[in-house]
Amino acid sequence: MPAPLLQLTGIGLSFGATRALDDVSFELRAGEVHLLAGENGAGKSTLIKILAGIHPEHEGTIRLDGREVRFATPQAARRAGIAVIHQELSLVDAMSVEDNLHLGRESSRLGGVWLDRRAHGQRALALCRELELELTVGDLGRPVGDFPLSVKNRLEIARALSGEARIIVMDEPTSALHRTEVDRLFRLIDGLRARGVGVIYISHKMEEIYRIADRITVLRDGRLVGTAPRAECPPATLIRWMIGRELSQQFPARPAARPERRVALEVRHLRVAATDPARPPVVRDVSLTVHEGEIVGLAGLQGSGAAEVLHALFGARGRVTGGEVSLADGAYEPREPRRALARGLVLATADRKATGLVLPLSVTGNITLAALPRFSPGGVLRPQAERSAARARVEELQIRLASPEQEAGALSGGNQQKVALARWLETRPRVLLLEEPTRGVDVGAKHEIYALLNRWTSAGAAVLLISTEMPELLALSDRILVLHRGEVAAEFPRAEATAEKVLAAAMGATSAEATKTES
Amino acid sequence: MKATRWFNHPGMRALLALGLVLALGCLAHADGAFFRWSTHRDMLRQVSVGGILACGMTLVIITGGIDLAVGSVLGFCAVLFAQLAVHRGWPVGAVVLVVLLAGAAAGTASGALVARLRVQPFIATLAMMVFARGLAKWWSGGQKISSAVQKADGTYVYVDLPAIFQWLDARLLGGNVAAVTLVFFACLGLSWVVLAKLRYGRYLYATGGNEEAARYAGVPIARAKLLAYGLSGLFAAVAGICQAVQEQQGDPEAGSTYELTAIAIAVIGGNSLAGGRGGVGLTLLGALTIGYLEKILSINAVAESNRLMLTGVIIVAAVLLQRRRAG
């Protein structure tokens, strides 16, 4: 039997007093998709960073094709054929698509001085075709920042492929993708598998794990729990390995909605123009009602306008182009986030890095930021009050940290997400607009967030929810509205909503096909 | 997860840089001159004007901006102060108030360009830097404003400088501390209160740390920036008064390149130009580092040419020493 493509033995790494990884061994064969699972902070990202040459001081050995190697720099790892697609996108927004795809491996002529623009353009087009990215030659010259997250995500993958990688690490590649795009990604991974590329895949989504993984390895608290072929590691085993205990069910039961509840948010004929005035409006005509204690799911594919509805209601896009909005206490005009917050309306955004957290600020500072006037009567901060509030939220959401005074940027992705939620919680909101509230969060933490949503709504809060994870959307929503091209295409009460119906409506199937109910 | 070794704290690294400079002073003590209190007292007096500017610069840098106009605003305020106090003979209280308001107004104007019209801080304050220097020259007619007052017939008479010129130039506490040094410490204290104790201080950090996220969290970004630049202008006015007092005149050229000194002090102390991190404690360490460095070079009679070159090298060394560990 030939040596495995990649073999890690006895890998360990400490940060100060923290033992991030301890004696972890891992093997990747050519042509295999090896799933790496574990709760937030279990050490997955650290292991990937070691593989990517970011922590050359690690213990243990790395063997590539049976030969021992040690990557001193990220460049060395890349040259050895290891490409990492990071959870937090690492594209340069201001640079063009084409330049991003070739960043760090430019083709050049004249001894490396002149960039070979033509070769770049051709290779970029070929890559986009391979990834089914419908970009024109003109699009290749546009800055990456112009494109939505889902396109950026695939560009990130394209960039990894442009380096002729033999080992590709995908850290939650689907967190920003819609279902059809996930299918596309999986076809691509199948192609990689056939070419003998080894894929290390990190995901928290059950349905993906069992569609794509050949073998599964689980880490917990920096240690190896086990490695098993997919067939020998059913979901119950996987969850037990990850959290060290049994979870009775994936979603807690929703208490039945009481119909007599008051209206918390009413939107009539909302219209939102595109950022580029030459393009058609992103939201054409959306009307919806959310009652107190109710969770309304907003479904829709990329470009449906679902995310824009949330951002526009929060006032993050300035004044809306048309329509009327009212809250429980009267008419409301979206203009800027400050006004929304003052009316008890909050938006937890999906893009944690750009619009969620202030990473250099302490965890405490982040948690109290949106409710700061309450913690500073007369303009003077009350550090005691801030600390005790932060401690309570850290406890409630089980945020794992060294100290509430540490910078939020030092936390793992899932814990950052919890800090962001804690901040909105601290404002005591009446209407919550949630965009992917469990993105990048591990199974155990997801469970906590679901339970939290139930508690909020029992206390009378209204929730408008977007989630690309269909099981989550179905399990949490009392009603689901499906958006297609900026309009409400269908509405399903909880009992009638199925993944098939929602997806069909989101893809623009006729009302008969989608068995549309009253709207 | 990041390493939390002691030297990863920016304050510790700034202390290390200061310690190295002090060690240099102990080695090159110029026949014991470095060990005399008067040397330290003079160092503190000489670094005070730059340090006062650096207080405002720190506030602006924490919002992720930069204020290039402080040197010119200092020049204009020095001229305005000397003109009103010496030539017009206004009461000192009124003069100080007017000068402080003028400085704050200049800073607020820069802030309005940055916050409301979304001009990049570098460009907005570059424009204010040129404008305020022009204003200083126009106001003074290009002349240094001193105790020599030109009469209508072209002759000069000499008037007495108002008492504030003595007060601020005096040594207090038994001759051990210069008055301007106490003004510097007062500015440090005021900045510290703003940054560490007030709601708006937190808003400054949030704005610099991630402006979009801060906006989503309801932080009044524009008002926070106006406050930072306004205070920077106010501190420039304070520095202008101190400068005029030390020179015993209002020089329209006063304070040119001081903005660079202020930036150097803030950065050597470990305040991140990226914004969102830092504090005036670091600025104090930076001021001491720069002050001691220049003092040590001057008591050892190092030629100005070599002094400048050495200072450049040491600034780079100090900043490299403090760089956050990658990863």
Q: Lowest mean pLDDT: which of A103-112, A368-377, B219-228?
A: A103-112
Do A370 and B212 lie within an 8 Å CB cutoff? Answer: no
Cα→Cα distances B173→B41, B122, B177, B181, B182, Å: 12, 41, 6, 12, 10
Specify whether the CB–CB gap between A267 and A325 falls below 8 A: yes
Q: Which band of pLDDT confidence, cut at 50, 70 and 90, is reported for residue A16?
A: low
Do A354 and B213 lie within an 8 Å CB cutoff? Answer: yes
Do A379 and B199 lie within an 8 Å CB cutoff? Answer: yes
pLDDT at residue B1 in the model: 36
Q: Is the pLDDT of residue A519 over 70?
A: no
pLDDT at residue A77 in the model: 87
pLDDT at residue A89 in the model: 65
From the list A85, A303, A98, A281, the residue with the least C-alpha distance to A180 is: A303
Give the pLDDT confidence of B261-289 residue by residue, as tens digits: 999 999 888 888 888 989 999 999 999 99
Q: Which band of pLDDT confidence, cut at 50, 70 and 90, is reported for residue A500?
A: confident
Using the Cβ of B11 and the Cβ atoms of chain A, whether some distance falls under 8 Å is answered with no
Q: What is the residue extent of each domain of chain A?
A: 6-243, 247-344+430-519, 360-428
Percent of all residues in chain A with a pLDDT value above 70, rounded to a whole number: 88
Q: What mean pLDDT value characterizes chain A?
A: 83
Tokens 């990689």 belong to: A192
What's the distance, Cα to Cα, between the start and end of chain A in Å? 62
Q: Is the pLDDT of residue B105 over 70?
A: yes
B-chain residues near A354 (CB < 8 A)? 210, 212-213
Using the Cβ of A401 and the Cβ atoms of chain B, whether some distance falls under 8 Å is answered with no
Cα A33 to Cα A27: distance, rounded to the nearest angstrom: 11
Report for A300-304, A376-380, B52-56: range of highest mean pLDDT: B52-56
pLDDT at residue B3 in the model: 41
Do A347 and B277 lie within an 8 Å CB cutoff? Answer: no
**β A33-37/A215-220 pair status:** parallel
pLDDT at residue A114 in the model: 63
Q: Lowest mean pLDDT: which of A430-434, A437-441, B22-26, B254-258?
A: A437-441
Q: Is the pLDDT of residue A515 over 70?
A: no
Q: Lowest mean pLDDT: which of A169-178, A369-378, A442-451?
A: A169-178
Q: Is the pLDDT of residue A513 over 50?
A: no
Do A18 and B203 lie within an 8 Å CB cutoff? Answer: no
Helix (H) or strand (E) holding A18: strand A18-28
pLDDT at residue A517 in the model: 43
Residue-wise over A477-500: b if at least 16 C-beta within 10 A, else e? Answer: bbbbbbbbebebbbbbebeebeee
Q: Is the pLDDT of residue A516 over 60?
A: no
Q: What mean pLDDT value characterizes chain B?
A: 88
pLDDT at residue A259 in the model: 63
Using the Cβ of A54 and the Cβ atoms of chain B, whether some distance falls under 8 Å is answered with yes
pLDDT at residue A258 in the model: 65
Q: Is the pLDDT of residue A188 over 60?
A: yes
Name the minimum distance, in Å, from the CA of A229 to any CA of chain B: 31
Do A55 and B327 lie within an 8 Å CB cutoff? Answer: yes
Using the Cβ of B227 and the Cβ atoms of chain A, whether some distance falls under 8 Å is answered with no
Name the minimum distance, in Å, from the CA of A39 to any CA of chain B: 15
pLDDT at residue A27 in the model: 93
Q: Which CATH number describes the domain made up of A6-243?
A: 3.40.50.300
Report for A128-137, B57-66, B292-301: range of highest mean pLDDT: B57-66
What's the distance, Cα to Cα, between the start and end of chain B in Å? 9
Give the pLDDT confidence of B152-164 residue by residue, as tens digits: 777 777 777 777 8
Q: Is the pLDDT of residue A391 over 50?
A: yes
B-chain residues near A365 (CB < 8 A)? 202, 205-206
Name the minimum distance, in Å, from the CA of A335 to any CA of chain B: 12
pLDDT at residue A241 in the model: 82
Name the minimum distance, in Å, from the CA of B220 to any CA of chain A: 8
Residue-wise over B205-227: b if at least 16 C-beta within 10 A, else e? Answer: bbbbbbbbbbbbbbbbbbebbbb
Give the pLDDT confidence of B16-25 residue by residue, as tens digits: 888 888 888 8
| Residue predicted with more confidence, B32 or B258 | B258
Q: Which band of pLDDT confidence, cut at 50, 70 and 90, is reported for residue A38?
A: confident
pLDDT at residue B60 in the model: 97
Q: Which band of pLDDT confidence, cut at 50, 70 and 90, is reported for residue A111?
A: low
Q: Which band of pLDDT confidence, cut at 50, 70 and 90, is reported for residue B327?
A: very low
CATH 3.40.50.300 fits A247-344+430-519, yes or no: yes
pLDDT at residue B15 in the model: 87
Q: How many contacts (CB atoms, under 8 Å) link A and B?
A: 99
Name the minimum distance, in Å, from the CA of A365 to any CA of chain B: 8
> Out of B3, B200, B217, whose CB is closest to A369?
B217
pLDDT at residue A109 in the model: 53
Q: Is the pLDDT of residue B187 over 50?
A: yes
Instruction: Give the chain A residue whose CA is nearest to the CA of B212.
Output: A355
Q: Which band of pLDDT confidence, cut at 50, 70 and 90, is reported for residue A105?
A: low
Using the Cβ of A18 and the Cβ atoms of chain B, whether some distance falls under 8 Å is answered with yes
pLDDT at residue B4 in the model: 45
Cα A515 to Cα A500: distance, rounded to the nearest angstrom: 11
pLDDT at residue A203 in the model: 81
Using the Cβ of B111 and the Cβ atoms of chain A, whether some distance falls under 8 Å is answered with no
Instruction: Give the chain A residue whose CA is nearest to the CA of B62.
Output: A360
From the list B229, B238, B318, the residue with the least C-alpha distance to B271 is: B318
Q: Lowest mean pLDDT: which of A60-69, A316-325, A366-375, B88-97?
A: A316-325
Output the DSSP codes for A98-155: HHHHHTTS--EETTTTEE-HHHHHHHHHHHHHHTT----HHHHTSBGGGS-HHHHHHH
Torsion sign, CA atoms A294, A299, A305, A307: positive
Cα B288 to Cα B51: distance, rounded to the nearest angstrom: 9
**Structural domains in chain B?**
35-149+156-322 (1.10.3470)
pLDDT at residue A135 in the model: 74
Q: Which band of pLDDT confidence, cut at 50, 70 and 90, is reported for residue B177?
A: confident
Q: Is the pLDDT of residue B136 over 50?
A: yes
Q: Is the pLDDT of residue A514 over 80?
A: no
Using the Cβ of B160 and the Cβ atoms of chain A, whether some distance falls under 8 Å is answered with no
Using the Cβ of A423 and the Cβ atoms of chain B, whether some distance falls under 8 Å is answered with yes
> Out of A18, A357, A370, whose CB is closest to B210?
A357
Do A338 and B220 lie within an 8 Å CB cutoff? Answer: yes
Do B213 and A358 lie within an 8 Å CB cutoff? Answer: yes
Mean pLDDT of A389-402: 88
pLDDT at residue A159 in the model: 77
Using the Cβ of B1 and the Cβ atoms of chain A, whether some distance falls under 8 Å is answered with yes
Name the minimum distance, in Å, from the CA of A179 to any CA of chain B: 28
Do A402 and B216 lie within an 8 Å CB cutoff? Answer: no
Mean pLDDT of B226-234: 97
Using the Cβ of B209 and the Cβ atoms of chain A, whether some distance falls under 8 Å is answered with yes
**β B171-172/B177-178 pair status:** antiparallel
Using the Cβ of A354 and the Cβ atoms of chain B, whether some distance falls under 8 Å is answered with yes
Give the phi and the psi of residue B153 in degrees, each rounded to 5: -85, 5
Do A369 and B199 lie within an 8 Å CB cutoff? Answer: no
Cα A250 to chain centroid distance, Å, stands at: 19
| Residue predicted with more confidence, B325 or A64 | A64
Give the phi and the psi of residue B81 in degrees, each rounded to 5: -60, -50
Q: Lowest mean pLDDT: which of A230-239, A420-429, B65-74?
A: A230-239
Q: Is the pLDDT of residue A479 over 50?
A: yes
Q: Which band of pLDDT confidence, cut at 50, 70 and 90, is reported for residue B59?
A: very high
Report for A248-262, A430-444, A475-489: range of highest mean pLDDT: A475-489
| Residue predicted with more confidence, A342 or A319 | A342
Do A356 and B277 lie within an 8 Å CB cutoff? Answer: no
* Overall size of chain B counted in residues: 327
Do A357 and B213 lie within an 8 Å CB cutoff? Answer: yes
B-chain residues near A356 (CB < 8 A)? 213, 216
Mean pLDDT of A192-206: 86
Grouping H, G, I as helix, E, B as strand and the rest as coil, residue B85 is helix
Cα A36 to Cα A255: distance, rounded to the nearest angstrom: 34
